[in-house]
Chain A
Amino acid sequence: MTRYVMVADLRRCVGCQTCTAACKLANGTPPGAQWRRVLDIEVGEYPNVKRVFFPTGCQHCSKPPCLDVCPSGATQQRDDGIVSIDYDVCIGCASCAVACPYGARYIVDDERFAYGASPTVDEAVNINPDLVGVASKCNFCVDLIDAGIAAGLTPGKDPEATPQCVNSCISGAMTFGDIDDPESNVTKLLRDTEHFRQKEDEGTEPGFYYIWDGGPP
């Protein structure tokens, strides 16, 4: 079996938001939809305070609450763990958006652009009109993965088959791969480090791991 997961090394992330920009460019998400985010969070209490840069987005859960509530069947889960949305079927009811414990889903009700009524040069080329009026979210750049696999490439290893947020990360904080493969990059990384997943008590079994200690950063 194959189970694709994302790993974010919190020790490495510098909060540059390059992954965020790369995601927007690759997927043509309209303003209001930001599939990859890097949260800038203050932790601790004065004077022992520090900032944590926290990449987040769809957790591609093994037991996704968004899947069960979707009335149209637009939300689907593949055998490799990727949770995706069929934008031609979604009715935009937002059941999934209120069901997701990670706030990873977006609904943009009308076509809009970053600067006023006209699209920027990038938006004119990249913006995806299919995302208006429906729920949308990170899909691990599934088209890229599928095309890469078809070309004999390995997701997480070959950039042509790897999500753009991972490809663009300047500090190597983001890693993608197959956690069911004992020799994959993510398996080795998680084996050597201490990590957690968001809201594990929800029982959703997220496919997004966060390294916080252990091993070389």
Chain B
Amino acid sequence: MSWGATSRLQRFWDIRAACNFIGGGTGSSLLVWATLGLFAGLPYFPVALIGLLFVAVGLFMVWLETGKPWRALYLFFRPQTSWMTREGIVALPLFALGAVSVFIDADVLLPTTSSSPAVPAVLAAILALAFLYCQLRILNSARSLPAWREPRAMALVGLSGLTEGFGIYLLLGAILGFVAPAMMVTLMVLVIARAVVWRAYIAALGRSGAPESAMSALSAMRNGFLITGHALPVVLIFLAYSWPGMATTFSALAGVTATLGGWLLKIVLVTKAAYIPKTAIPKPPVRGRRSSSAGA
């Protein structure tokens, strides 16, 4: 069998691209959660700052992956159709507004006035959601890869991004001392929703005739993903409710495990499950007799 006669793993995007999806999903949703927390009176600037750092590290990693990194400015040339261009365009005001809101909240900017970071924070959160959406569309436009182009992959990776961000939010809440029972319930809802979408995604992928090797890669990570990213967080949240004295520790661990599960998903999706289907021959050539056998 020659090249193309069997499905093959794409090698164009590696762990660095996975890091962009990890940093982008975790960071952008962290900004969203930080903004919602701001209106609940929770600390904003340390959380938002870390969110921005996640996004920046993700973009830096994908920059390292490009073949011609010093041509990075060319990235902005096709906003009409390219979701990668749009991602880059959204990132600029996201960092600007995110930085302004962080500086205002940290009293670095306008320290003598009682300015609220609410307006730039809300705008940054909206841009963060747009950034996350751009990443989902980038994934979806990989037409050669059934595991990525399946529409439910967008829902799964998007929801996972929100879960990862909230997991880090819980961890920071434990460190900074602002964990509330409602936050634990929110994490539980997110991980349960992600598990449901995961099942729907796998079922749809199976129906779409995705390469067996892609299904095998996803199947191999299923237990790790479901146990680390879902079962453990749920158990830890129950433990947090059962032992109020340890609630902060358990909720932090729940956040970390929920986040790690999402990161595992993205690493496997990008580096292990991204199989290009084999070349299809619907009609083999007829040589010498007037019938065509089954295609490949």
Hey, which bits of chain A sit against chain B, CB under 8 A? Answer: 9-11, 37, 39-45, 48, 50, 52, 54, 56, 65, 67-74, 89-95, 97-103, 107, 109, 132-135, 194, 196, 198-199, 202, 210-213, 217
What is the distance, in angstroms, from B13's C-beta to the closest C-beta of chain A? 6
What is the distance, in angstroms, from B94's C-beta to the closest C-beta of chain A? 17
Q: Are B84 and A95 in contact (CB-based, < 8 A)?
A: yes
The residue of chain A having its C-beta at the shortest distance from the C-beta of B270 within the complex is A98
Q: How far is the CA of A43 from the CA of B2 in the complex (A)?
A: 12
Q: Are A98 and B75 in contact (CB-based, < 8 A)?
A: no
Q: How far is the CA of A44 from the CA of B67 in the complex (A)?
A: 41
The residue of chain A having its C-beta at the shortest distance from the C-beta of B137 within the complex is A69
Q: Are B82 and A71 in contact (CB-based, < 8 A)?
A: yes
What is the distance, in angstroms, from A75's C-beta to the closest C-beta of chain B? 9
Q: Are A50 and B293 in contact (CB-based, < 8 A)?
A: yes
Q: How many residues of B contact A (CB 8 A)?
A: 51
The residue of chain B having its C-beta at the shortest distance from the C-beta of A197 within the complex is B282
Q: Are B12 and A109 in contact (CB-based, < 8 A)?
A: no
B143 contacts the other chain (Cβ, under 8 Å)? yes
Q: Are A37 and B82 in contact (CB-based, < 8 A)?
A: no
**With A44-B293, A72-B77, A90-B68 known to touch, is A202 a contact of B82 (CB < 8 Å)?**
no
**With A72-B77, A72-B78, A213-B283 known to touch, is A98 a contact of B12 (CB < 8 Å)?**
yes
- 5 smallest CB-CB distances across A and B, nearest first, come from A92-B67, A133-B67, A10-B285, A94-B12, A72-B74
Q: How far is the CA of A93 from the CA of B281 in the complex (A)?
A: 30
Q: Are B141 and A48 in contact (CB-based, < 8 A)?
A: no
Q: Are B283 and A95 in contact (CB-based, < 8 A)?
A: no
Pick from A45, A99, A134, A212: contact of B68, CB under 8 Å: A134
Pick from A65, A92, A194: contact of B141, CB under 8 Å: A65
Q: In this complex, which of A93, A94, A199 has the most chain B Cβ atoms within 10 angstroms of its Cβ?
A: A93
B219 contacts the other chain (Cβ, under 8 Å)? no
Q: Are A212 and B284 in contact (CB-based, < 8 A)?
A: yes
**With A68-B141, A95-B82, A100-B144 known to touch, is A73 a contact of B285 (CB < 8 Å)?**
no
The residue of chain B having its C-beta at the shortest distance from the C-beta of A38 within the complex is B2
Q: In this complex, which of B65, B82, B274 has the most chain A Cβ atoms within 10 angstroms of its Cβ?
A: B82
Beta-carbon contacts under 8 Å, B232-276 to A: 274, 276
Hey, which bits of chain B sit against chain A, CB under 8 A? Answer: 1-5, 8, 10, 12-13, 62, 65-69, 71-72, 74-78, 81-85, 88, 138, 141-145, 148, 274, 276, 279-287, 292-296
The residue of chain A having its C-beta at the shortest distance from the C-beta of B83 within the complex is A69
The residue of chain A having its C-beta at the shortest distance from the C-beta of B88 within the complex is A71
Q: Are B286 and A213 in contact (CB-based, < 8 A)?
A: yes
**With A41-B296, A73-B77, A103-B276 known to touch, is A98 a contact of B10 (CB < 8 Å)?**
yes
Q: Are B274 and A98 in contact (CB-based, < 8 A)?
A: yes
Q: How far is the CA of A194 from the CA of B285 in the complex (A)?
A: 10
The residue of chain A having its C-beta at the shortest distance from the C-beta of B290 within the complex is A213
Give the chain B neighbours of A89 by CB distance below 8 A.
71, 74, 77
Q: How far is the CA of A48 from the CA of B274 in the complex (A)?
A: 32
Give the chain A neighbours of B74 by CB distance below 8 A.
71-74, 89, 91
Q: Are B78 and A70 in contact (CB-based, < 8 A)?
A: yes
Q: Are A107 and B67 in contact (CB-based, < 8 A)?
A: yes
Q: What 10 new A-B contacts, CB under 8 Å, besides A42-B5, A94-B13, A196-B282? A: A43-B295, A52-B296, A54-B279, A68-B82, A71-B78, A91-B72, A98-B142, A99-B144, A100-B144, A211-B285
Give the chain B neighbours of A65 by CB distance below 8 A.
141, 143
Q: Are B71 and A50 in contact (CB-based, < 8 A)?
A: no
Q: Are A198 and B284 in contact (CB-based, < 8 A)?
A: no
Give the chain A neighbours of B296 by CB distance below 8 A.
41-44, 52
